[in-house]
Amino acid sequence: MEPSTVDLLSRLIKTIDSLIAIGDLQQAEELCNSILVKDENAAAGEFLYRKGLITLKNEQYHDAVVLLTHVAKSNPTNIKFNQELTNALMKAGQHSQENGSLDEARNYYRCAIMINPYHEQAPEALADMDMSGEYYLQVLSQIHEWQKPAAYLEIGVSRGESMTLAKPPTFCIGIDPTPLIKVPFHTETELFKIESDSFFVDQDLPSLLNGRDLDLAFIDGMHTFEQVLRDFINVEKYCHPETLIVLHDCLPLDAITSARNRISGWWTGDVWKVLPCLMKYRPDLAIIIIPAPPSGLGIITRLDAKSKVLEEGYTKFVEEFQGLTFAEFEDIRDSSFNLVANNWEAIEKQIITARG
Ligand SMILES: C[S@@+](CC[C@H](N)C(=O)[O-])C[C@H]1O[C@@H](n2cnc3c(N)ncnc32)[C@H](O)[C@@H]1O
C-alpha cells in the first residue's frame, strides 16, 4: 500500500472516531460505508469495527454482534476487537432479557464467555437469570441456625467466608490444602491444610469429633465430579441419618464454566454430575436442590453411614457420569432436578418431609 493511502486511511479513522465521539453516528457510518463498499477488509477490519461500534450505539444489538463477530474472526489476536464483541454480546443479552427472550439472552451471555472465559459479568448475568432467592452463603447460614450442628465439617475453606457462618457451640473442622483465611472464625475450629483425600486417610475423624455428632458438612473443595463423589463417600461414613451434607455448585451456568478442566475465571466444574449419580444409585437418600445464586446448592439427607453402594460402584459410576455434557444437564435441570424454591420456609419443609 502506498504511504499516502495509509495516511489517508488513518486520517479517515480519526475523523470517524471524532464523529462517533460527538454522536454524529450517521455521518460516521456514511464514511465507514464509503470505504467498505470499495474494500470490505479495509485497514484490517478497522472500518468494519467502527461500523460495528456505530451499529451498537444505534442499539441494533444483533447486527452489531454480527459485524463485530466478523471483525474479531478475521483478526483473532486483536484484543480491542474481541473486547468490543464481548461488550456487544452483553448488551444484546441484556436487551433480549429485558424483552423476555431468555434463551436468546442466555446464548449471548454464553458467547461472551466463549470469547472471554475470564469475563466477570457474563456468568453473573447467567446466574441472575437462572437462580433466585438468597445468596448461597445466606442459605448456608440459615441451615446452621436451624440445624445447630454439634460438629460441622467443611471441605474447601478458601477465605473462610462459609466457615465463619458457624456459631458456638458448634465445633468445626476445615480442610483445604491452600486456605487464604481473611475472616475470623467464631467457633472452636481445627483447620487441616491438606487435600480432602489425604485428610480421610491420615486423620482419625471420630477422635477429632470426640463424641460430637457430625450434623452438617459442606463440600466445596475441588470441583470435579469424581472428587466430589469421593468427598461425599468419605463424609457419609461419619454421618447419621439426619446429618445434612450440602454441596456447592450443583447448577452450572454454561459449558465453559462447567468444564472438567478449569479454563475460565468463574468455575463450577462438573460437580453437578454427582446429583444424577446419587439419584440413580442411591434412591434411599433425600436430595433437595436449591437455585441459590450464584451456582446452586444441594442438600442431601437420610444418609447411611454403612452404605457401600457408592464405594463399591465408584469406578463404574465415574465412567457412567463423567462424560455427561452441559447440554445433557440442561435437558434434565427442570425435569429431574426438581428444584425447591429458594426461600427458607420451602427449604425447611422439604428437609422435614425428607426426614419423614
Ligand atoms: C470455592 S473455594 C471454597 C469457598 C468457600 N467454601 C466459601 O464458600 O467461602 C474452593 C477451595 O477448595 C480448595 N481445594 C481444592 N482442592 C481441594 C481438595 N482436594 N481438598 C480440599 N480442598 C480443596 C481450594 O484450595 C479452594 O480454597
Residues 176 and 264 in one domain: yes
Quote the pTM value: 0.92
In angstroms, rounded to a whole number, what is the distance separating the alpha carbons of residues 34 and 132? Answer: 49
Residue 41 CA to ligand 1 center (angstroms) comes to 48
Residues 167 and 249 in one domain: yes
* Final residue of a structural domain among 128, 152, 187: 128
Residues 239 and 204 in one domain: yes
**How does pLDDT run across 50-59, given as a tens digit for each residue?**
999 999 999 9
pLDDT of residue 318: 98
Residues 147 and 267 in one domain: yes
* Final residue of a structural domain among 102, 128, 154: 128
In angstroms, rounded to a whole number, what is the distance separating the alpha carbons of residues 171 and 159? Answer: 18
Nearest to 324 by CA among 269, 246, 248: 269
**pLDDT: is 129 or 3 the higher one?**
129
Residues 98 and 151 in one domain: no
Using left for φ > 0, alpha for ψ between -120 and 50, and beta otherwise, residue 59 falls in left
Say yes or no to pLDDT of 1 above 60: no
* Final residue of a structural domain among 63, 94, 128: 128
The C-alpha cell that represents 292 in the structure block:
441459590
* Most informative mutation of 137, 140, 157 for ligand 1 (most atoms within 8 A of CB): 157
**pLDDT: is 1 or 137 the higher one?**
137
Residues 87 and 146 in one domain: no
Residue 340 CA to ligand 1 center (angstroms) comes to 26
Residues 254 and 338 in one domain: yes
Residues 122 and 142 in one domain: no
pLDDT of residue 338: 81
Residues 149 and 110 in one domain: no
Average pLDDT over residues 29-34: 87
| Environment class of 35 (CB within 10 Å of its CB; exposed 0-12, middle 13-18, buried 19+) | buried
pLDDT of residue 41: 63
Is the beta carbon of 175 within 6 A of some atom in ligand 1? yes
Domain span holding position 233: 136-355
How far, rounded to the nearest angstrom, does the alpha carbon of residue 228 sit from its chain's CA centroid?
Answer: 16
Residues 76 and 149 in one domain: no
Helix 309-322 to helix 274-281 angle (10° resolution) is: 130
pLDDT band of residue 36 (cuts 50, 70, 90) is confident
Is the beta carbon of 270 within 6 A of some atom in ligand 1? no
Where do we find the cell 462424560? 323
**How does pLDDT run across 135-164, given as a tens digit for each residue?**
999 999 999 999 999 999 999 999 999 999
- If one counts the domains in the chain, the total is 2
CATH number at residue 16: 1.25.40.10
Mean pLDDT over each residue of the chain, to the nearest integer:
94
Residues 158 and 112 in one domain: no
Is the beta carbon of 64 within 6 A of some atom in ligand 1? no
Nearest to 48 by CA among 2, 7, 96, 88: 88
Say yes or no to pLDDT of 256 above 80: yes
Average pLDDT over residues 174-196: 97
| Environment class of 236 (CB within 10 Å of its CB; exposed 0-12, middle 13-18, buried 19+) | buried
In angstroms, rounded to a whole number, what is the distance separating the alpha carbons of residues 293 and 251? Answer: 9
* Least confident stretch, 142-151, 186-195, 305-314, 332-341: 332-341
